[in-house]
């Protein structure tokens, strides 16, 4: 198994959050307990791969124990808001 480089970048973290549900190569839906392999393909394209596709990674940045989010994921068009008192806002 390829060694993890642990060279996280902000772009790679965003890529993970936007693609976390499925393997970006074969489309397999991750389920609790799967391993998700995050890294780069040849040509430096970011990828999040399942166990079967993982050998395709040129660089493995990190492997995650895949689990469901503990909160409801907001949709891209959702408005985020919260109440706070004026003193805290200031």
Task: Provide the minimum distance between the beta carbon of 79 and Zn ion in the complex, in angstroms, as a whole number.
Answer: 34
Q: How far is CA 21 from CA 2, 3, 27, 51, 82, in A?
A: 23, 23, 9, 14, 27
Between residues 14 and 27, which has the closer beta carbon with respect to Zn ion?
A: 27
x/- string (CB under 5 A) for Zn ion, residues 9-48? --------------x-xx-x--------------------
CA dist 16 and 27 (Å) reads 14
Closest to Zn ion by CB, 23 vs 38, is 23
């Amino acid at each position: 198994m390829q060694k993890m480089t642990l060279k996280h970048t902000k772009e790679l973290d965003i890529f993970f959050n936007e693609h976390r549900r499925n393997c970006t190569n074969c489309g397999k839906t991750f389920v609790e307990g799967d391993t998700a392999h995050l890294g780069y393909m040849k040509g430096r394209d970011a990828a999040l791969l399942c166990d079967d596709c993982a050998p395709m990674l040129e660089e493995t940045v990190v492997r995650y124990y895949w689990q469901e989010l503990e909160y409801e994921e907001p949709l891209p068009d959702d408005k985020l808001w919260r109440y706070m008192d004026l003193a805290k806002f200031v």
